[in-house]
Each structure stands twice: as C-alpha cells, then as structure tokens.
Amino acid sequence: MTPETAIAALKSHAVPGKALQMAAYHKSTRPFLGVANPAIDEEVRKWRAGLDIAERVQLADGLWQSNIFEARIAAAKLLTQARIREDTAVWDLIKSWVPDFDGWALADHACMAGRKRLQADPARLDQVELWTTSPHMWTRRAALVITLPWTRQNHPKSADLLIRDRVLGWAASYVDDKDWFIQKAIAWWLRDLSKHDADRTRAFLEQYGERMKPFARKEAARKLK
C-alpha cells in the first residue's frame, strides 16, 4: 500500500464542511480532509492486517510526510502497539516526528505510539531527557506527555519509582515556564500521578506549587483527597 492509496481511502470518509471546522478548531493551516476519528480507526485496522512492521513504518513515514492532519493521525495510530519484536525503526520514526509537533492533537497521538516503545525499552528515556532542554515548546511538552504511563501504575517496581522521580525532576525544571501548554502538561502529569502516588504529588506541590500558574496548581491537586 502506498501513502497515496491510504490517503484516498481516508478521503472516502470525508464529511462535507468538516475540514473547515477542524481547521478552525485546531487553529491550523495544514490540509484537513474532514474525516472523523472512528473512520481513521477503521482504515488503520485494515492496513494493519495486511502489513508487516517494516511496511507499516514505511507507510507511516509517507503519511506523516504528507502533512495532512488525518494522515498524520493515521500514521501515529498505525504504530501504536504494545508488543513489537523489532521496534527500533518504529521508535526512530516516532522520535523523528517530535520536531514537527505544532499542536496538541498530533503531538498526543504520536506520543501515545511513543509510550509503548518507551515501556518496551525504558533506556530510551535518556533520549527523551534531551527533549527537556529543547527551544521547541512542543518538544519539551512531549517529554511529559510520552512518560504518562509511569504515573498510572498501582504497584510500581523500584525501577519505575526511579523513573517517576526522574520525570518529576523534569517537571520541576519547567515550573517557571509560563507557557500554557507546558503548565497544563505539568498539571496533567501530577493529576494522573495523584491517583496512584498522592505523597509524591503533594511533595511536588509543596515545593514547587507556588511557582506554577494557579490553574495548573489547581488542576494538579484536583484528585487529591
């Protein structure tokens, strides 16, 4: 399957008028087809069934390079899978997309695919740590969004607790960054963590909460009892 064939399949689901609505909602000038998320899921399931990992990587690369919103969403979905035996090419491709992030929707879908690869090989966190000092805001934000699985473990191992503390250190380095999306990402990480590790969340807020924006501090503490 070629990217052109895949994009044509996506276009067959286009809803009249939806492309303009989506462009306005996402505040983006990139091309939109006007395809709803369930329809993208439907096509991606078909493609997965007939492609091996190397073919999926090749197709995902072409879809992302098209710069079409729904094609990029489909590219991320195509690579979102828990178990992949040889996943270096998958991780490398997802990682290559990070500098292209320019909005939350594409970034979050790509990070969902990236989370699976980080969980498969946590040593890749060394590469993610480099994102935390990037001048590109969406890259810095991605370091928190892609590590969200470490907030959600009910019975973390000691290695997982070390990762929690490591990422909390990254979050601490962000607290003086007043960009709304960065503050929201800190709050998101802490809010999710609070449901499984309230003590760490409280300790972070006690130390750094006053330096966060009020909305972020409130959101971070929302699930604490």
The percent of residues in the chain predicted with pLDDT above 90, rounded, is 97
Phi and psi angles of residue 102, each rounded to the nearest 5 degrees, phi first: -145, 15
Averaged confidence pLDDT in the chain = 96
CA angle, 32 then 186 then 126, to 5°: 85
Q: Where do we find the tokens 């060394």?
A: 126
| pLDDT for residue 120 | 96
> How far apart (Å, rounded) are the C-alpha atoms in residues 128 and 24?
31
The pLDDT tens digits of the residues spanning 157-210 come to 999 999 999 999 999 999 999 999 999 999 999 999 999 999 999 999 999 999
Query: What's the pLDDT at 61?
Result: 98
At residue 145, the pLDDT reads 98
169 assigned to some structural domain: yes
Q: Is the pLDDT of residue 225 over 90?
A: no
What is the CATH number for 182? 1.25.40.290
pLDDT in tens, 56-90: 999 999 999 999 999 999 999 999 998 998 999 99
- 148 and 197 share a domain? yes
Residue 106 forms part of a structural domain: no
Give the CA distances from residue 1 to residues 5, 40, 50, 85, 117, in Å, rounded to whole numbers and listed in that order.
Answer: 6, 16, 9, 22, 24
User: Residue 108: inside a domain, yes or no?
Assistant: no
Can you tell me the distance from the alpha carbon of 126 to that of 43, in angstroms, rounded to the nearest whole number? 34
How far is CA 76 from each of CA 90, 94, 197, 224, rounded to the nearest angstrom? 10, 8, 30, 33
Instruction: Round to whole Å and give the CA distance between 29 and 163.
Output: 37
| Domain enclosing residue 9, as ranges | 1-101
110: left (phi over 0), alpha (psi -120 to 50) or beta: alpha
Domain-ending residue, one of 36, 67, 101: 101
Residue 97 and residue 59 share a domain: yes
Domain end marker among 49, 73, 101:
101
The whole-angstrom separation of Cα 31 and Cα 33 is 7
Same domain, 52 and 145: no
Query: For the residues 215-219, what does the mean pLDDT come to?
Result: 97
Per-residue confidence band for 45, with pLDDT thresholds at 50, 70 and 90: very high
Domain membership of residue 192 (yes or no) is yes
Do 206 and 198 touch, CB atoms closer than 8 A? no
Encoding tokens for residue 45? Answer: 């399931």
- pTM score over 0.85: yes
Residues 5 and 73 both lie in one domain: yes
Number of other residues whose CB lies within 10 A of the CB of residue 24: 10
What local confidence, expressed as pLDDT, does residue 82 receive?
87
pLDDT band at 217 (very low <50, low <70, confident <90, very high): very high
Based on the domain organization, do 138 and 70 belong to the same domain? no
Assign 10 a pLDDT band (cuts: 50, 70, 90).
Answer: very high
- Matching residue, tokens 């992302």: 64
Cα distance between residue 193 and residue 148, in whole Å? 8
Q: How many domains does the chain have?
A: 2
Q: In Å, how far from its chain's centre is CA 31?
A: 21
Question: Would you say 170 and 129 are in contact if contact means Cβ atoms under 8 Å apart?
Answer: yes
pLDDT tens string 113-129? 999 999 999 999 999 99
